[in-house]
Amino acid sequence: MSIIISILLFLITISILVAVHEWGHFIVARWCGVKTLRFSIGFGKIIWRKVTRSGLEIAVSTIPLGGYVKFLDENEAIVPLDQRRYAFNRQSVFKRIAIVLAGPLFNFLFAFFAFWLMLVIGSHHMKPIIAEVVPHSLAAKAGFLPQQRIVAINDTKVSSWQEIRLALYNRLAEDKPVLVSVQGPNDTAPRTILVDVSGVRLDEDNIDILEDFGVFPFVLDIPAVVDQVEPKSPAAAMGLKRGDKILSINGQAVANWQALLEQITSLGGQTVTLVILRHDTQESLTMTLGKRIDHQGEERGYLGIRAKALPLPKDLMVVKRYNPLAAIPKAAHETWRMTTLSVNLMYKMITAKIDLSGIAGPIGIAEGAGIVAHSGIAAYLSFLALISIGLGIVNILPIPVLDGGYLLYFLIEIARGRPLSDRAQLIGIKIGFAILLCLLLFASYNDIMRLLQ
């Protein structure tokens, strides 16, 4: 059932974002006096269509990975003499640029609207109170302590772990130290800690940046029961499964999840014996723990498992909600922040400073949609906004067949005083298709490898 929900949410998500993108092209084209022949959600064979009184064909096609708006254009078909003034190719280059840029622009506008609606509806977040500091971790060496509350990152107030994650990701993309303000339960005023996060990883094995940073949110007394097994981890290699309860490590009893983490951290790279309870039967597993090098060059162990989160008491939760007017600048700020963060991370990937295994394709988006489905409408709106921003950024890349590729053609036309030849444009389009196909295959490969693991 969860797979079906993920697929349905993926289709809904992509359809919404494609419709927004193509609506941008369509509406600006109308303002510029260009006639639109077809508005399609999806590519390939048309499976549903409707023709409006104005002659516009609205269609749904078989491949739900994009869409397109087909304009009247002499480069594609013969146009009657009395219709030529409505043809796309007959418009000034500046009108064509406006039409092309409208798609990505509407994606950013939609992201702003989704963030605004999320802020008005309100969302629940966990207060950023530290439950545990991993021994020998970056946070431990910087001086963080349990029960402290993180109140600001670089003088920007934070009230939830999500805001802290985003701030850390942003600093990670910029390779700059982080100034963290913390306040203990008995402190009269916050104190600041300068932390160098340049060594924090960002790849497929680092699912949560807080884990590599070395702090864990305040949680309940969680039993040492496996809920998730990370791909390519020692736990996956030795066959640990969801539902397994870890009773002891090397004969030492494991009281709860926190005790399990403490033992694993101190045994990096060592061969250990785990006694687990699986389907009411005790089993013994021998495995070699993984090890990660922290920012001081010291090793710390990891197993590659995650616990199931339990409901938190209300006093550990905070509800963030704004009135419609106050939410406008907040939504604008959030849109700008997530756009700059996405651009920074994309630059890091292009320059090979971040592992490309983090690139997700359709399956990854479907998984994300399925996860946020259980977190409420606010989480789904945030998810929509993030994907919309990513779609807008990707579409303005100077790759032929994308909007940015056509923008590049138009800029060259302005510089040359005449358009590129049909042959040159066709060669560029073929190269663009090849690049996009390679990216899609690579992203799908990452998705499949995550599923297989």
Q: What is the pLDDT of residue 354?
A: 58
Secondary structure (H, E, C), the chain? CHHHHHHHHHHHHHHHHHHHHHHHHHHHHHHCCCCEEEEEEEEEEEEEEEECCCCCEEEEEEEEEEEEEEECCCCCCCCCHHHHHHCHHHCCHHHHHHHHHHHHHHHHHHHHHHHHHHHHHCEEEECCEEEEECCCCHHHHHCCCCCCEEEEECCEECCCHHHHHHHHHHHHHHCCCEEEEEECCCCCCCEEEEECCCCCCCCCCCCCHHHHHCEEECCCCCCCECCEECCCCHHHHCCCCCCCEEEEECCEECCCHHHHHHHHHCCCCCEEEEEEEECCEEEEEEEECEEEECCCCCEEEECCEECCCCCCCHHHEEEECCCCCCHHHHHHHHHHHHHHHHHHHHHHHHCCCCCHHHCCCHHHHHHHHHHHCCCCHHHHHHHHHHHHHHHHHHHCCCCCCCHHHHHHHHHHHHHHCCCCCHHHHHHHHHHHHHHHHHHHHHHHHHHHHHHHC
pTM: 0.67
Query: Which bin fits 73, alpha (ψ -120 to 50), beta or left (φ > 0)?
Result: beta
| Residues near 282 by beta carbon (within 8 Å), at least 6 away in sequence | 247, 275, 276
Instruction: Report, at the CATH architecture level, how domain 130-316 is classified.
Output: Roll (2.30)
Q: What is the pLDDT of residue 186?
A: 78
From CA 144, how far away is CA 373, in angstroms rounded? 34
Q: What is the pLDDT of residue 1?
A: 42
Q: In terms of Cα–Cα distance, which of 7, 5, 4 is closest to 366?
A: 7
Domain ranges of the chain: 98-122+323-453, 130-316
Q: Which residues are identified as catalytic?
A: 22
Q: What is the pLDDT of residue 205?
A: 47
Q: What is the pLDDT of residue 295?
A: 47
Q: What is the pLDDT of residue 437?
A: 80
C-beta separation of 12 from 52 below 8 A: no
Q: What is the pLDDT of residue 294?
A: 53
Q: What is the pLDDT of residue 204?
A: 45
Q: Tell me: the pLDDT tens digits for 401-440?
A: 889 999 999 999 999 888 888 888 888 888 887 887 887 7
Query: What tens-digit pLDDT sequence spans the chain (453 residues)?
Result: 456 776 777 788 888 989 999 999 999 999 999 999 999 998 888 899 999 888 899 999 888 778 889 999 988 888 888 899 999 999 999 999 999 999 999 999 999 999 999 999 987 777 788 877 877 777 888 888 888 888 888 878 888 777 787 777 766 656 677 888 888 877 778 888 887 776 665 554 444 667 667 777 765 667 888 888 887 788 888 888 888 898 998 888 888 887 888 888 888 788 888 898 898 888 888 888 887 665 445 677 878 888 876 666 666 777 778 899 999 999 999 899 889 878 877 777 677 665 555 566 555 665 665 566 566 788 788 888 988 998 899 899 888 888 999 999 999 999 988 888 888 888 888 888 788 788 777 766 665 665 554
Residues forming beta bridges with residue 302, ordered by sequence position: 290
